[in-house]
Chains A and B, each alone.
Chain A
Amino acid sequence: MKLEVSLDAGPVAPGGQVSGSVRVLDGGEVRELTAQLVYAEETADYTGAMLRVRSAPLATGQLTTGQAVPFSLTLPADALPNQTGASGQVVWKAIAHADIAHGIDANAGAPLELTLPPVS
């Protein structure tokens, strides 16, 4: 299964709505499809996340190729900006996750732009 995340609007303010859709590039059967906003940490060797805003299941069962599943999530009112250091970064992403019963789960993500200017 292959997914792609696209976001509707431009920069989002803390506390604002993030809406978009998960496009199914290669269909299949899923236990559930969810979307989440993640404040994602990345260093050269590790990834992590302390803040996640999860959606309710967007879809279950068969997803067909070409199908677009809309989602809408609220960015926390106290959201921090996207921040890049010299050896790592922590940035907001919208991530779609397909839980597949007998196979490898599928993920796709898109970077989220905030009205708070990014820091580096």
Chain B
Amino acid sequence: MEVANPKYPHLPPHREPGEQSQARRGTGGIGAWLCAAVGVFFLGCGVYVYSARNSEAWAGKSIWGIEVFLAACGVVMLALAYWIRARRKPLIASHFAIEVDRQELRRGESVAVTLAIHDASKVTGTLQVGLIAIERYDQEVTTSTRDGAQSTQRQTFENPIYEQWTPADASLPSQPFRIDIPADKYCSYEGECFSLAWRIDAREVREHRRDPHSHVPVWVTP
């Protein structure tokens, strides 16, 4: 069963995105593309040098060091591009998942949540189930180049503004929870430059590693 809008994972299915969500003003997107482009450029140079190694101009010269250097730079830049993109996305858990009984709720109501652990042997951290409200806001970001030129971009940032976590037992294959939506907190909203989103989340808190998550978006009305 589909639990999120396929294009907009912070929204339940059938909920329409606002202009801010549709604009997808990401953070770090340009950096990732730049790194990938530079990586491909280095690898291309490496391939060119390799293919030209027997040409008259380089006959008798050892150029393997240049080839290795270019290939290494290319790989490092592509890895950096992958890392920049990966750190922006939550690490999706494969060994546990949560389910909710409904995704459209009023403030003050409660939702039945089930945490299913598919493979307890993979749980190395502390499991928690929680309720999170996120604000998404647009901000101007100014970047400067070495020659002093400045460019301004509109980017969307997000920030948790409410979170409540409950510990879960990793030894149980299925564990029920009941989570209350606070009666005095935010309602879901999709806007042009400011939005509010809720989700039910399960996470495995691990030291020195990214925390795997399983989450289901919910839509909260007054």
B-binding residues in A (CB < 8 A): 14, 41-50, 78, 80-81, 83, 85-90, 116-117, 119
Contact = CB atoms under 8 A, between A and B. Distances in A.
Given A50-B18, A83-B187, A119-B185, A41 B192 contact: yes
A49 B192 contact: yes
Contact of A81 (B139, B154, B187, B190): B187
A50 B187 contact: no
Contacts of A86: 135, 159, 161
A52 to B, nearest CB: 12
Contacts of A42: 193-194
Interface residues of B, number: 25
Contacts of B189: 80, 83, 90
B222 A116 contact: yes
Contact of B196 (A46, A49, A78, A85): A85
Contacts of B185: 119
Contacts of B159: 85-87
Q: Which 6 A-B pairs have the closest CB atoms?
A: A48-B192, A85-B135, A46-B193, A88-B194, A41-B194, A88-B137
Nearest to A45: B140
Contact of B194 (A43, A81, A116, A119): A43
B222 A45 contact: no
Nearest to B139: A45
Interface in B74-119: none
A88 B222 contact: no
Interface string B15-50: 000111000000000000000000000000000000
A62 B138 CA distance: 40
Contacts of B157: 87
Given A81-B222, A85-B161, A86-B159, A50 B139 contact: no
Nearest to A44: B139
